[in-house]
Amino acid sequence: MKLFIYILLAFFFVSETSFAQDIIVHDPVMIQQNDNYYVFCTGMGISVWSSKDMKNWNAEKSVFKEAPAWTKEAVKDFQGHMWAPDISYFNNKYYLYYSVSSFGKNTSCIGLATNVTLDPNDPAFKWEDQGMVIQSVPGKTNWNAIDPNLIVAEDGTPYLSFGSFWDGLKLAKLTPDAMAVADDITKIPTIASRKKTISSTNQNVSVEAGSNAIEAPFVFKKGDFYYLFASIDYCCRGVESSYKMIVGRSHRIQGPFLDKNGKDMATGGGNIVLQGDKNWHGVGHNSAYTFNSKDYLVFHGYDANDEGRPKLLIKNMNWDNDGWPVIPNE
């Protein structure tokens, strides 16, 4: 559910918030290559920003000048506005998953593009689309194929978490090249939901999103645990946004992901990591990283002082004595 009617990715502002300059982004993910940081986010053809210090950002060319032909065939009303990308280095390449969808429907697909470098000045720089990875269909799948995130198990097996609303967030095992789903798509387990009971994906299949307001899974490995971050409540409403982030953890990449009270995120569990305040009307769709031995939480917030526009936010992520993430007030 990522379309924001006045997302203006070409604008650049000069004030700072924590570790990031005040640029307008939605659903940011980040990666470091050499001494450069790159942010990929929702936008026409996937928007890209670069920085050497996580403070001063430069707009780069979009990943796609034109949307791959398959996207318009799969989603008839798709106009090139790609949502919620995910960037990882895997199999000696950069893997960029992205979402193609109709707003408010689960007429959705997750696609994949790869590149050997992120430096646009490198002669080898070229994004190559690998096509569709997974698709959701109204009335047939009770999940939504958006908001992808790649996580690789210790044995090298790749998994893709994804989803929003409907039955909640999913985790699918991928083929060894991470370009297709290895699991039976009718049996992909739910790893997080606001519902109190787990429902079968083959029952009560709904065309409408429903009230299960959860999306944007991101799995982060820290020590002995896999931490599942997710966003709950509502994005994309400017000053009316109520977005907030929750977390649970598991020793296994497949879950179950439990909160501090031992409640499974699949049945409504999850501890609040960060939520909106007088300055930010909703914060969410986060990603988490370790750069140069420091952990960071990267996300967007709706600026209360700028008509609710979505801005890039980067926070240091600390850990309490029990191993739970703590975001300091700054």
Partners of 301 in the β-ladder: 283, 311
The encoded tokens of residue 69 equal 């032909």
Residue 88 contacts residue 95 (beta carbons within 8 Å): yes
Q: Find the catalytic residue in 27, 86, 167, 264.
A: 27
Active site includes 215? yes
Nearest to 108 by CA among 129, 128, 134, 80: 134
R_g of the chain, CA atoms, integer Å: 18
The encoded tokens of residue 225 equal 């645990």
The encoded tokens of residue 321 equal 């004595």
Cis peptide before 256, with omega less than 30 degrees from 0?
Answer: yes
Distance CA 232, CA 209 (A): 14
Q: Find the catalytic residue in 22, 86, 215, 264.
A: 215
Backbone angles phi, psi at 265, to 5 degrees: -65, -25
Q: Which helix (H) or strand (E) holds 71?
A: helix 69-74
State the DSSP code for 178.
Answer: S
Active site includes 53? no
Cα-based torsion angle of the residue sequence 115, 41, 177, 74 in order, rounded to the nearest 10 degrees: -110
- Write out the catalytic residue numbers: 27, 215
